[in-house]
């Protein structure tokens, strides 16, 4: 590359990397990409895994490399960082809206204490009612729980708060 790579541009490109299980939300909006450093045209990306046991981390890592390579960045390093653990408060407002539009209840913001109350009475993404019950905290993936809405009688999933 002859041009100097700038960080805003890299962040913009990285917005193309979506969560493999929820293809409407980018790793940026998920709060998974925690740092981007550019030194001498080498791009270093730090990522923090979300749920322990989400098996998609290697896949996401490769996706980051692929997207940047596609845009002509040939020197990419991706580090998986555990310096600061991920929690669902890191999901951006744009990300929350994307989850909602996808039909998944976004995780409520919380003060890092997730108790059963926060899993109950989740707002229904279909009708907005909070007259809902938790069916099971174990959805189709480690990241989701299943709920039922007593107002519109839909069953829906929530991206679990963590």
Q: Give me the residues that bind Zn ion (CB under 5 A), please.
A: 124, 126-127, 129, 149, 151-152
Q: Pairing state of beta strands 42-47 and 33-39?
A: antiparallel
Cβ at position 139, least distance to Zn ion in Å: 17
* CB closer to Zn ion out of 88 and 132: 132
Beta carbon of residue 115, minimum distance to Zn ion (angstroms, whole number): 23
125: tokens are 């993404």
**Closest separation in Å from C-beta 36 to Zn ion:** 39
Query: Three-state SS for 111?
Result: coil
Q: Which is nearer to Zn ion, 152 or 162 (CB)?
A: 152
Q: What is the DSSP letter of 125?
A: T
Q: Closest Cα partner for 109 from 128, 94, 87, 142?
A: 87
Of the pair 127, 142, the CB lying nearest Zn ion is at: 127
- Segment holding 14, helix H or strand E: helix 7-14
């Amino acid at each position: 590359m002859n041009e100097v790579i700038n960080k805003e541009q890299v962040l913009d490109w990285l917005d193309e990397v979506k969560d493999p299980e929820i293809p409407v939300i980018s790793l940026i909006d998920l709060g998974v990409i925690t740092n981007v450093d550019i030194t001498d045209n080498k791009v270093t990306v730090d990522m923090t895994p979300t749920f322990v046991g989400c098996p998609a981390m290697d896949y996401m890592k490769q996706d980051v490399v692929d997207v940047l390579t596609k845009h002509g960045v040939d020197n990419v390093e991706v580090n998986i960082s555990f310096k600061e653990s991920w929690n669902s408060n890191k999901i951006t407002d744009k990300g929350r809206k994307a989850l909602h539009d996808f039909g998944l209840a976004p995780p409520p913001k919380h003060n890092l204490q997730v108790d059963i109350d926060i899993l109950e009475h989740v707002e229904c993404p279909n009708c907005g009612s909070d007259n809902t019950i938790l069916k099971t905290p174990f959805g189709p993936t480690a990241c989701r729980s299943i709920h039922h809405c007593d107002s519109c009688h839909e069953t829906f999933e929530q991206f679990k708060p963590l």
